[in-house]
Amino acid sequence: MKINLLPVCAIILATTALTSCEDIYEGGEKDLPEVAVQLKAQITPYEKDKPEAFEGNSKVGVYMLASEDGAPIVSNLELPMDDEGVIDTGNSLFYPKDGSKVNIFCYTPYTASASAANTLRLDVATPAAAAASDYLYSANRNRYMALAPVKVQLKHILSRAEFGITAGEGISDADLAAISFAISDMPVKADFDLFSGEITHGQTGDIAMTVLNGGRNAECSVIACNVPNLVVSCTLKGVSFTKKLGPIDFMQGSVYKFDVVVSEPGFEIVLRQIEDWKVEEY
């Protein structure tokens, strides 16, 4: 009896080819060519209608870890970024040659202090400290080797509170210009874990808001937290008043807008809007 070996051989070859492709995809191939990691960043702004741009000569901190066991490949690597968001990896960042998956974490502006515990120190106790702590952050997990740039979607770690202030009866322009606001019993210092994206709160205190436009606006940065009862104080014409607004969950990268009417005596305040728009995740 004659046996036709051609179909059998074809099946064996096809099976072998499929197995080989699967091994490469899953990181089984141990002799892949060296491929540089390319990174292209963009900013998710606090508000959708107020785009934010990169400044020239920015510095980015980059971590790359093995997805499987978290083994570090590069840690807090300082890389330059141009005003178009292209991060220059040069000859310093390459995918594993075995094709295994990686986790890539990026933040800006760069700080050498992040190397100590892979964390960013957050401080909103003063406007200057808050400005220095306004980090942008992105996490890209389980990335396979690719020739195309990794899309780094950077988002603000901090949150913001903004007041729109209206003068009521008995309040002059001079009174409004001398007004002050503070948010009480808030976390003012914290640590941000670059790998988990979690925030560990530290010291609490009052956050003095920056008053703008002759007292018609006030704003401050806030460390993301769930506040059981938000306390706002206002000093007007030398007299202090306090309001409790109930629970508010301040989320990373979001803006919370309040309408305030000041009059004699006191003030009224309501939460008008939460800016927490979504963008495509990569």
pLDDT of residue 29: 55
- Fill in the amino acid letter for 263: S
Give the pairing of strands 58-66 and 72-81: antiparallel
Under DSSP, the state recorded for 277 is -
pLDDT digits (tens, 9 = 90+) for 118-172: 999 999 999 999 999 999 999 999 999 999 999 999 999 999 999 999 999 889 9
Model confidence over 258-276: pLDDT tens digits?
999 998 878 888 888 665 4
Read off the pLDDT of residues 213-224 as tens digits, 9 standing for 90 and up. Answer: 999 999 999 999
Residues in the chain: 282
Residue 243 pLDDT exceeds 90: yes
Asked whether the beta carbons of 124 and 223 are under 8 A apart, the reply is yes
Class of domain 39-156: mainly beta
What are the start and end residues of each CATH 2.60.40.2630 domain in the chain?
A: 159-275
Predicted TM-score (pTM) of this structure: 0.84
Strands lying side by side in the sheet with 255-262:
210-212, 217-222, 159-167, 255-262, 267-275
User: What are the two backbone dihedrals, phi and then psi, of residue 88, each rounded to the nearest 5 degrees?
Assistant: -85, 100
Does residue 100 contact residue 112 with C-beta atoms inside 8 Å?
A: no
CATH 2.60.40.2620 boundaries in the chain: 39-156
Cα 63 to the center of its chain, rounded Å: 15
CATH topology of domain 159-275: Immunoglobulin-like (2.60.40)
